[in-house]
Structure 1
């Protein structure tokens, strides 16, 4: 199981300060909407300058028509990030278009498909998607697997079902992890490290428990020891 720390702080400088404190670890760093829209590709380059061993996950959740998603995927691949994501609900054709476009890259990024946002509770998800989370998440994962994606973004509670429907090596990345039972905040389907391990999660994403800590580096050390 690998650790990914979310760089979700309000300013570029705060995110860089956090990354600097963690620079001795070759961990994943997640760069999301707010950070990327504000700071762009130069910020990704600054992170790599801090530690070339950082693995960057660009969390933009592409969702559009197939050709537009493929165009965006090609641009992302040229930025040198190690992983990005798309929405599985864009459909198998769109995911397939992304993967086909990336075939020409000697070293392409991993592509994960978002199944169900962890901010959804069961009622809200069913209201929008017309089905139960576990059932639909596994179905979305199968679509992503058949389209050639490398894995999915899901909650820990769907990870085992995803691997059962696809392949044990099909990656599952779980956001909203509260490593040692911290407050769930706006996330609904959160889990701790032990639950993630039991459910065969490959990459855990931790945000607030790290960047809100008085000593983020110490928290990351503790998480890595637990992993």
Structure 2
């Protein structure tokens, strides 16, 4: 299991200060919509300057027509990041196009398809997809696997079911991790480290429990000990 730290602070300076406290730790750095829209691709370079060993995860959740998603995937691959996200609900054709574009790169990023956002509860999910969250997440994961994706973004509660349904080596990336029982906030399907390990999550994403901690490095070290 590998740890991704979400950079969701209000300013680039605050994000960089957080990263300076984490130098030398074996973590992925998740750059999401807020940071990327505000700070641009130059921000990725600044992260590398702080510690070139940080692995970069660009979490933009692409969702568009196939050609546009393919173009975007090529641009992302050219940035040298290690993984990125798109929506499984963009469809099989779009995911095939992304996979085909990525195949042109000798060293390409991992592509993860989002199944159901962890902010969804059952009622809200059914409102949009007219299906149960669990069954649709499984179907989306299979669609992603069949169309060239390396894994899916899902909650801990779908992770092991997806691996059993698709393949045990199909990767799962699970957000909404509250390592030590912190409040769930706007996330509905959250889990702790024990639950994530039991669900065979390959990557976990932690944000607020790290960047709101008075000693972020200490929090990350404790998480790394917990997933070792």
TM-score grouping bracket, smaller chain normalisation: over 0.9
* Equivalent runs, 1:117-136 vs 2, <5 Å: 117-136=117-136
The answer for the alignment partner of 1:195 in structure 2 is 195
The answer for the alignment partner of 1:49 in structure 2 is 49
* Equivalent runs, 1:112-191 vs 2, <5 Å: 112-191=112-191
Say if 1:26 and 1:51, in contact at 8 Å, map to a contact too. Answer: no
Q: Distance in 1 between matches of 2:218 and 2:124?
A: 37
The answer for the alignment partner of 2:82 in structure 1 is 82
Q: Distance in 2 between matches of 1:23 and 1:139?
A: 39
Q: Distance in 1 between matches of 2:189 and 2:146?
A: 26
1:55-102 Cα shifts (integer Å, max 9, x gaps): 111000000000000000000100010000100000011001000011
Q: Secondary structure at the match of 2:40?
A: helix
- TM-score under structure 2 normalisation? 0.99
Shift of 1:51: 1.1
- TM-score under structure 1 normalisation? 0.99
4+ runs of 1 displaced by more than 6 Å?
none
Shift of 1:165: 1.6
Shift of 1:155: 0.1
2:75 is the counterpart of 1:105: no
Shift of 1:26: 2.4
2:20 is the counterpart of 1:20: yes
Aligned positions, number: 227
* Equivalent runs, 1:66-77 vs 2, <5 Å: 66-77=66-77
Q: Secondary structure at the match of 1:71?
A: helix
In structure 1, the gaps of 5 or more residues are none
1:188-218 Cα shifts (integer Å, max 9, x gaps): 0000000011111111100000000000000
Shift of 1:157: 0.2
